[in-house]
Amino acid sequence: MGKQKTHKGLSKRVKVTGSGKVMHKRAGAGHLMSSKNAKHRRRVTGMGLVTGASAKKAKVFLGK
């Protein structure tokens, strides 16, 4: 039986940290930032945490 392939679409969108947490980029930070207020712009910077069953499924897809 061969190895399971990595889900390439998901691997471009999330990353798994050293401790095993699944992180994703927050939505809404792609463009049109001048029309968003500063509080919103700060909130969408950085990475968000994927929780629950979604995180478990993401680890299976990524082979982690």
Kindly state the tokens that stand for 59. 């680890």
Tally Cβ neighbours within 10 Å of residue 41. 13
pLDDT for 59 equals 95
Element (H, E) at 14: strand 14-16
Kindly state the tokens that stand for 60. 């299976």
Could you tell me which residues come within 8 angstroms of residue 61 by beta carbon, excluding any fewer than 6 positions away?
6, 7, 10
User: What is the model's pTM?
Assistant: 0.79
pLDDT digits (tens, 9 = 90+) for 9-43: 999 999 999 999 999 999 999 999 999 999 999 99
pLDDT for 2 equals 86
Going from the N-terminus, what domains does the chain have, and what CATH number goes with each?
Answer: 8-62 (4.10.410.60)
pLDDT digits (tens, 9 = 90+) for 35-44: 999 999 999 9
